[in-house]
Amino acid sequence: MKYKIKFASDLTTVAFDGAIDEHIGPVLAEIRAQIKTKEALFDLAKVGLVNSIGVSTWIAHMAAFDGMSVAFTRVPYTFISLCRIIPVLAQGRTIHSFEIRFYCDHCDDDEVQFGFVHREEALVTGVIKAAVCPSCKKPMEADPNDTDYVRFFAR
């Protein structure tokens, strides 16, 4: 796992790039040692593979971040899906945006497209902003199985 860290006076942003696997523990420990702010934002957009050893290691090492406000943004579909069945992955953390599936009812393109949903915006408006189909350029619908994530992670 690679990461880039940006420091500001009151917020540290960490952009992850790679897998959450058996190697994530030392990475999280290294990141924690560098953060001096009370708030951190973890950008998970480039997280790919998430395996079971990585999940358990992530949970164990995230305890070191207790006492600081840690939020997640651009959470990929694989991770957000796991958070739904293993809530402790994101327990006590705010999720600002996450990826869901979109599909097109207008054309023969049956491929699912992925797009990020900004949780706060969806909660305020009550709707998930439609994605645009790359084939026919018409609005795509959010997968009904994923739209519940906004309410689930509203806590």
pTM: 0.87
pLDDT > 90? residue 45: yes
- With b for 16 or more beta-carbon neighbours within 10 A and e for fewer, the 66-91 pattern comes to eeeebbbbbbbbebbbbbeeeeebbe
Q: How does pLDDT run across 84-111, given as a tens digit for each residue? A: 889 899 888 988 888 888 888 888 666 7
Q: What's the pLDDT at 127?
A: 75
Q: What's the pLDDT at 153?
A: 64
Residue at token pair 């990475």: 27
pLDDT > 60? residue 155: no
Which residues lie across from 73 on neighbouring strands? 43
Please, which pLDDT band fits residue 135 given cuts at 50, 70 and 90? confident
CA dist 110 and 61 (Å) reads 40
